[in-house]
Amino acid sequence: MSSQRVLVTGGAGFIGSHLADLFLDRGYEVLVMDNLLTGRLENIEHLFGREGFTFHKQDVTNHIHISGPLDAILHFASPASPYDYLEYPIQTLKVGSLGTHKALGLAKEKGAKFLLASTSEVYGDPLVHPQPESYWGNVNPIGVRGVYDEAKRFAEALTMAYHRSHGVCTRIVRIFNTYGPRMRLDDGRALPNFMCQALRNDPLTVFGDGSQTRSFCYVADLVEGIFQLLQSEEVSPVNIGNPTEMSILEFARTVIEKTGSQSELVHRDLPSDDPKVRQPDIARAREILGWEPKVSLAEGLELTLPYFRDELARHDSDLSPAR
């Protein structure tokens, strides 16, 4: 067992739990901290009892105490889907500000590396396409999505302030749309919505005319990129995502085809401040980390589909009336 010890805040969430797997598999000791507001114990229950794994149920906006040394802190605690941060706007702002402050303070105390999970949402509804890290964004600070966008923008500013003022060794990853096993069925993002609707043969809900674009990265590619960033010397933000761009309409049709669904498409009004385009410029990730995604959308959907079939069957059986 390596002497390297890492803390993953939000580690019971979708991406955080995959990070916990990766670090354990590579010989690290892993501490997961999560208050389970949007994270789920089901995402990490396979790790309980595994050597080197510890779970702390805690809200990171409160004081964080960890006994012993820490080599790295990966700060992933935050509601991360539109449904979640619209339901928990205050908590989203608090974890981006107070939670980041507490986690950075712990990194300073322990002399640990600090990696912030930022987001492509810092670019808002972008006027530059694709989005390079040098783009400052087009964000509505008082819109309904602003609670997430601005929380992450503030978290980036605070991370850089701790780096400059206190010498904390920091990294910032800007995560673009990611998918894979362990997403919640009620996540509210395009893939869980489309998967659930398609597997039930319900109409797929497309917001607006479906011409808005997204770029979907499989979770295994993402966490590998994050691991490489942590090992690097790069302090400035780095985009990690899949640059293959497609319209939401095209994506919906792809999911229907992959699932063999009989679903049709229905259109609903576009939500407020919904980005019209989203595509990462990953030139810096290629140059600095030697990283680029390896899993195609077709492969990733094949890997993800069994999870959604099983989750949906379990969920729907739980809702069935008792006989």
Active site residues: 148
Bridge partners, residue 243, by sequence? none
Bridge partners, residue 73, by sequence? 7, 114
Task: Please tell me the distance from the alpha carbon of residue 251 to that of residue 247, in angstroms, as a whole number.
Answer: 6
Cβ atoms within 10 Å of 36's Cβ, excluding its own: 12
Q: Strands 213-215 and 245-247, how do they pair?
A: antiparallel
CB 91 within 8 A of CB 66: no
Instruction: Return the sign of the alpha-carbon dihedral for residues 303, 276, 84, 315.
Output: negative
Buried b (16+ CB within 10 A) or exposed e, 151-189: bbbbbbebbbebbeeeebbbbbbbbbbbbbbbbbeebeb
Cβ atoms within 10 Å of 262's Cβ, excluding its own: 9
Cβ contacts of 313 within 8 Å, gap of 6 or more: none
Amino acid at 210: G
Cβ atoms within 10 Å of 67's Cβ, excluding its own: 5
Cβ atoms within 10 Å of 261's Cβ, excluding its own: 18
Extended strands (E) in 10-79: 29-34, 53-57, 72-75
Residue with tokens 């928990």: 88
Cβ atoms within 10 Å of 110's Cβ, excluding its own: 19
Measured between alpha carbons, how far is residue 176 from residues 63, 129, 205 in Å?
A: 30, 14, 22
The tokens for 241 are 């995502």
